[in-house]
Structure 1
């Protein structure tokens, strides 16, 4: 995990044949995931400097950088340069109400990047539940994206259930 003023970056490397591990961001080179590996990079906080570095280190290009740096006003799904781009609002429970945090996700060749300015509870909970040697390396980026989207939808179902229980 890299922590800089106003920003946290996690790089998690899942390997179906070896040990899953967190990759120190200061490491000069990121591993290139193979068929049975998956790299998840999560950026939280002041995103622009971190996103610029992620894009440069992964050779993603300006269109993907612009997408990651700019929250969209509404949910969106796009496809660019062999990557799936998803913009959504992550539901966050606040005292006496619900709020949301803009979340951008890019899924490419065994790499998934999540970017958000504020904490996203379902991502934090999911990362906390991951076991070492989770076998997530067996998933490709599209399947991992589906897992994240499923977790995202669960937060809305839980919120609706709580609202229905109170009425």
Structure 2
């Protein structure tokens, strides 16, 4: 699935240039020869991604429990050692992974109900810290689903 932000984000743009002596002032496009392009970035945002593993497709493709463990480990450490000009070191991180496991192939509750367990409360107006979002699981519904066999592991990101 694609990640979605909890709040509308603001995209800032920055023009990237270089300065070199002896270059012509304009080229065919009308841009100065020292203009390299534009870089877009988001100052702050909290994103949620939801996904699932279909056990029937997993059987057909040979996807195993060990493969699921590798995915879980990858999600927890997603942005480690992944620095770039678009994502400088330490600018992005995974905070929490909510990993749900059903006790049977059909599932104990629908994926839509599982996704609805994650709730977002408006704690502060400025929303420039993760703690400002009040992200949690609906414990009442979770207890009801756990009786039906649903299990949840909450993993902290690196």
Q: TM-score, normalised by structure 2?
A: 0.30
Structure with the largest fraction of helix? 1
Structure with the largest fraction of strand? 1
Q: Which has the larger radius of gyration?
A: 2
Q: TM-score, normalised by structure 1?
A: 0.29
